[in-house]
Structure 1
Amino acid sequence: MNAMDTDELSVVLPSTTTSGLSLSLHPLPILNISEHLTRLKLQTNSPSPFVLGALLGTQNGREVEIVNTFELAIEGTGELVDHGFLVSRRDQYKQVFPSLEFIGWYTVAPHPTARHVVLHEQASLFTGYCSTPLLLLLQPNVNAISMSINAQALPFKAYEPSIEMRDRKSRSVFIEASYNVETGEAERIAVDWTARGGGSGTSLESHLQTQRSAVKMLHERILVLVKYVTDVISGQAKKDHVTLRALTALIASLPATENKAFRTEFDTEYEDVQLTAFLSSLTKSANILNDLVDKHIVLTTGRDERGPGGRRRGIGRQGTIPGDWDRHH
C-alpha cells in the first residue's frame, strides 16, 4: 500500500491543516464519558463496547465550550440512534440549562475511521440538530502522550468536520482541533470532591474498611485457635496448659453479653441516657418558652397603657383619668 492509498483511507487531514477553532473542554464531560465507557464494559463484559453520546455546550462564532453530555440510545443491535430519545433528552436539558445547545457527539475509538464518517453523514442524525457537529473521541489504552496539537495527558481528541476535494470529488473528513481544559470554581470543588471519593463518604468508607480488616483479622485468629484445639484433641499438637486456660477464660467471658441480667442492666443504662437527653431538650425548650412569654407580657402591657387614639393614657386632675373627670364635671 503506497502513501497515496494510506492518504485516501485516512479520514483525518494532516496535522499541517488547522481548524482555527477555539475549543474549551470542561471536567464534567470528561468524567461522564469515562464513566459511560467503564459502565458499558462491566455490563457487556466487552473490552471495547460501542459508546455513543451527545455533547452539550455553547458556541459563539468560532469559540465553543463543551459543558455537559448525555448518552444516546441505540435502536436494536445496529448503530442507529433513537431520535425520539435524543430530542426528548435535549429538550429536558434545555428546560434546566437554556443556554446549552447540542454541539456534537462523542464516542470511543483510537482514531476516526470511515465508520465515524458514516455516522456523521446520516442526514437525519447529528447534522439535523447541528450544522457542524463536533466529534470528541476518547482514546483508551493510550500508553504515551501524543505529540499532536492536543499534547496533554488526557486521552481525548476533538475533531471538526470538513469537506475535502480530491480528484474532483468531495468527501467528508475531520480536522483535529486543539482544546483547553477549562474549569470554574464550582467545577474545581466538584472534581476535588469526586477525586477524594465523595467528601464525607470517604470517612465512612475508611471507617468501614478498618472495621472489615479488624473483623477479618479476628476471624483468622479464631480459626488458628480452633485448629490448635482440634490438633490437641487429635494428638497432633502438644498440650499447653497456659494457652488452654487462657482460651477457657476467653470463652467463659463471651456468654456475658447474652446474660439476661446484663441485657436488663444495659437497657436500664440506655433508657437513663435517653431520659437525660430528653430532659435537657425539655429544659432548653422551657427556657425559650419563658423568654417568649416575657416578651409577650411586655408588648401586651405597652398596648394596654395607650388610649384609643394611640396616645398614652395619663393621670388627670385630682388623681382621676380624663374620662372620669368628664363624667364628674
Structure 2
Amino acid sequence: MASATTSSSSSGLTFKLHPTGSAQPPTPRVFGCVIGIQKGHTVEIFNSFELLYDEPTNSLDRPFLEKMQELYKKVFPNFYILGWYSTGSDAQESNMEIHKALMDINESPFYVLLNPAINHAHKDLPLTIYESKLHVINGIPQLNFVRSSYTIETVEVERISGDHVAHLKPSDGGSAATQLVAHLTGIHSAIKMLNSIIECFTIISFAMQKGDIPYENSLVRHVSSL
C-alpha cells in the first residue's frame, strides 16, 4: 500500500506529549482518539481512548466515538479531541479517509502513529506525529500527511508517579508487580475511607442546614480547614 507522507511539517505547531497519554500498543492494530489542549501553536497531548474500527468499511464507529467524547468531556471539561492514533509501521493513503472523517470534530486533527515493532536500541518513543497539509498534485488539491516533531512534557504529578513506579523494588521475596498491587490496594483503601468521611460530612451539613440537627460551629470550622 502506498505511503501518504511527505517531508517535515512547516505549520509552526509545537507538540508536547505527556507520558500518561501514550502507552505501548498491543500487537493487533488499534485505533483511538487523543485528547488534550491547544493554546496558540502549542499542542499538549494528555490522554487517549480507544475507538471501534470497522475494517471492511475502513471507518470508525461514530456513535461510539461521540459517546466516549461526551463521557470524557464530563471528566476533563478543558480537554478536546486533538486528533487520532493507530498502530502501524507507516502512514498509508487509506488512513486519510479516517483523518477526513474527524475534521468535523477538529478541523485540523493530527495523526499519532504507534509502531508496535519496538527497537530497543532506540531511545526515542516508537511513535510519529503527522499533520495534514493540502498540496496541489497534477492540478488536483490533495491532503497528505507530513511529519511533525514533538517533545516529552511532564508535570509534577506525572514525574512523582513515574519515579515511584520506576523505583519499586521487590521485598520479602515478592515480585515488583506484587508490591505494586499491594501499594495500589492501600491507596484504594485510603481513598475509599476518605470518600466515606466526605459523604458523612455532606449528610451532616445538609441536616444542619435544614435544621434537623443542632448547628455545630466547631464541626463547620473543622470541615472548612480541610
TM-score normalized with structure 1 length: 0.48
Classify 1:173/1:69 alpha carbon distance in 2 versus 1 (closer, same or farther; 3 Å): same
**Secondary structure in 2 aligned to 1:84?**
helix
Match of 1:207 among 161, 174, 188: 174
Classify 1:109/1:75 alpha carbon distance in 2 versus 1 (closer, same or farther; 3 Å): closer
* Structure 1 segment 241-252 matched on structure 2, within 5 A: none
* Structure 1 segment 31-180 matched on structure 2, within 5 A: 31=23, 34=24, 37-38=25-26, 41=27, 49-75=28-54, 78-121=57-100, 125-143=101-119, 145=122, 153-180=124-151
One-letter amino acid of the structure 1 residue matched with residue 106 of structure 2: C
Match status 1:184 vs 2:155: yes
Supply the distance in 1 between the matched residues of 2:139 and 2:95 (Cα, whole angstroms): 23
> 1:224 — aligned with what?
none
Supply the distance in 2 between the matched residues of 1:90 and 1:69 (Cα, whole angstroms): 11
TM-score normalized with structure 2 length: 0.69
Supply the distance in 2 between the matched residues of 1:94 and 1:18 (Cα, whole angstroms): 31
Structure with more of its chain in helix, by fraction = 1
Report how far residue 27 of structure 1 moved: 0.5
Classify 1:83/1:100 alpha carbon distance in 2 versus 1 (closer, same or farther; 3 Å): same
Supply the distance in 2 between the matched residues of 1:22 and 1:187 (Cα, whole angstroms): 20
Match of 1:18 among 4, 7, 10: 10
Classify 1:76/1:23 alpha carbon distance in 2 versus 1 (closer, same or farther; 3 Å): closer
One-letter amino acid of the structure 2 residue matched with residue 167 of structure 1: N
Structure 2 stretches lacking a partner, 5+ long? 177-226
Report how far residue 207 of structure 1 moved: 2.4
Classify 1:208/1:18 alpha carbon distance in 2 versus 1 (closer, same or farther; 3 Å): closer
Classify 1:110/1:75 alpha carbon distance in 2 versus 1 (closer, same or farther; 3 Å): closer
Report how far residue 52 of structure 1 moved: 0.2
Supply the distance in 2 between the matched residues of 1:118 and 1:164 (Cα, whole angstroms): 16
Classify 1:159/1:191 alpha carbon distance in 2 versus 1 (closer, same or farther; 3 Å): same
> 1:4 — aligned with what?
none
Task: Tell whether the 8 Å contact from 1:107 to 1:138 is kept in structure 2 after alignment.
Answer: yes
One-letter amino acid of the structure 2 residue matched with residue 108 of structure 1: T
Larger Rg: 1
Instruction: State the structure with bigger RCO (CA 8 A, min sep 6), 1 or 2.
Output: 2
Report how far residue 77 of structure 1 moved: 5.8
Total equivalences in the alignment = 174
- CA RMSD after TM alignment: 2.4
**Secondary structure in 2 aligned to 1:66?**
strand
Classify 1:80/1:203 alpha carbon distance in 2 versus 1 (closer, same or farther; 3 Å): farther
Supply the distance in 2 between the matched residues of 1:171 and 1:56 (Cα, whole angstroms): 26
Task: Tell whether the 8 Å contact from 1:20 to 1:177 is kept in structure 2 after alignment.
Answer: no
> 2:211 — aligned with what?
none
Report how far residue 62 of structure 1 moved: 1.5
Supply the distance in 2 between the matched residues of 1:18 and 1:76 (Cα, whole angstroms): 32
**Secondary structure in 2 aligned to 1:110?**
coil
Deviations 1:260-306 (A, max 9, x none): xxxxxxxxxxxxxxxxxxxxxxxxxxxxxxxxxxxxxxxxxxxxxxx
Report how far residue 75 of structure 1 moved: 4.2
Supply the distance in 1 between the matched residues of 2:99 and 2:160 (Cα, whole angstroms): 35
Structure 1 stretches lacking a partner, 5+ long? 1-8, 42-48, 146-151, 210-329
> 2:20 — aligned with what?
28
Give the share of equivalent positions with the same residue, in percent. 32
Structure with more of its chain in strand, by fraction = 2
Supply the distance in 2 between the matched residues of 1:109 and 1:190 (Cα, whole angstroms): 29
